[in-house]
Structure 1
Amino acid sequence: MAEQIGSTNGVSFEDVAAVAPALGTYTRTHIVGDLWKRPGLSVRDRSLVTISALIARSQTVGYPHYIDLALENGVTPRELSEVVTHLAFYAGWPNALSVIAVVRECFSRRGVDASAVPLANPDLLPLDEVGESKRAERVSELFGDLFPGVVQYTTDALFRDLWLRPGLLPRDRSLVTVSALIALGHVTQLPYHLNRAMDAGLTQAESAEVVTQLAFYSGWPSAFAAMPVIKEILEKRVKLG
């Protein structure tokens, strides 16, 4: 991993040592030597978390290395394509488009063709009609009169389409969403999406490791802003059994 960092994003360890030697030491010791080896989250999931944070914050210097690393760690081209599509809605179209050229170059280099990426209009996963009706009704009551366009797109484009695309498992789609929300500091959205992620199979230990991973890739303030919210969510789930 150390060599890849130097060779794929244009910043070598020699460059770092010449400018900020302590940063190079922290990178080798804490990120390369420890963080990615922690047992609480698979390297595949760490790649999903990291890619989501980079795209959400448009941190383009990290794209080449971490996209290659994600594919090496078991993220499929189909899944990577869905992550980019999903984050257009949760981080904005410009941020999603910012990674397109890098992913296309990576696919070309690896011989990934069109058959390996998802269809634009696949057969969707089954919809939880009861749960979605309750969500839509609640949002409509709160915001429908003032923001009918947002409410309508939220129902039609997100929860009756995007969230049902089969190219990314529901648990992983929620993991990507939670990672982007933390990276962007949008902690008020975490209760709904973290509960959804845990209902789909994300564990408490994995949730904690997501925050640990993002402390390095989005900064300590992002992690500490999320921790009280996540702590409350986890405590409520324990009480509810």
Structure 2
Amino acid sequence: MTDRRQAGLDVVAKMLSPEVAKALDGAARSPEFGAFIGELALRNVFSELWTRPGLDLRSRSLVTLSILIALRASDELEVHLLVALRNGLSLSEIEEVIYHASGYAGFPAASVARTTALTVFRKHKLVES
């Protein structure tokens, strides 16, 4: 295993969980349809982007949330809302990202992000129902 790949696995373990890192590590060997997508995420996103110098994980989470909100990528946003909390963002900061996105990505995108965030945060008992 290369040092870059291991660095990517370490980032995944820290931001998501050791179990997710292990699953991504074995993705390329899986016969399951489309399983290689996990390997691509590991190589191209976590090993090459999240480990780069220049931005800390907290800053990368801010950028990632903003992009996912603009794309209305709710499934990925669900994951990255929790990643953002692990990377040091507070609930109120995430709330502000959603508000700010309304001015640049549009109200509908921010509204979808708010709904997604409420669902995730309620599920994990981070906000009241």
TM-score band (shorter)?
A: 0.7 to 0.9
1:229 alignment partner in structure 2? 116
Q: Secondary structure, in 3 states, of the residue corresponding to 2:54? A: coil
Distance in 2, matches of 1:129 and 1:225, equals 26
What fraction of aligned residue pairs are identical, expressed as a percent? 29
Q: For the pair shown, which has the larger CA radius of gyration, 1 or 2?
A: 1
What is the RMSD of the two structures over their aligned residues, measured on CA atoms? 3.0
2:20 alignment partner in structure 1? 135
2:65 alignment partner in structure 1? 178
Instruction: Report if aligned partners of 2:61, 2:83 keep a CA contact under 8 Å in 1.
Output: yes
Question: What is the CA-CA distance between 1:150 and the residue it aligns to?
Answer: 2.2
Instruction: Report if aligned partners of 1:175, 1:197 keep a CA contact under 8 Å in 2.
Output: yes
Aligned pair 1:191/2:78, yes or no? Answer: yes
Gaps of 5+ in 1: 1-120
Gaps of 5+ in 2: none
Runs of 4+ in 1 over 3 A off after TM superposition: 128-133
Distance in 1, matches of 2:92 and 2:121, equals 10
Instruction: Report if aligned partners of 2:68, 2:74 keep a CA contact under 8 Å in 1.
Output: yes
Trace 1:22-101 onto structure 2 (pairs within 5 A).
none
Question: What is the CA-CA distance between 1:233 and the residue it aligns to?
Answer: 2.2
1:118-146 deviations in Å (ceiling 9; x for gaps): xxx9xx69925755652241794xx8621
Instruction: Give the TM-score, by structure 1 length.
Output: 0.42
Distance in 2, matches of 1:125 and 1:148, equals 17
Aligned pair 1:238/2:126, yes or no? Answer: yes
- Structure 1 residues 148, 182: closer, same or farther in 2, change over 3 A? same
Distance in 1, matches of 2:63 and 2:12, equals 23
Deviating more after overlay: 160-169 vs 127-136: 127-136
Distance in 2, matches of 1:151 and 1:127, equals 15
Instruction: Report if aligned partners of 2:9, 2:42 keep a CA contact under 8 Å in 1.
Output: no
Aligned residues: 116
Question: What is the CA-CA distance between 1:218 and the residue it aligns to?
Answer: 0.8
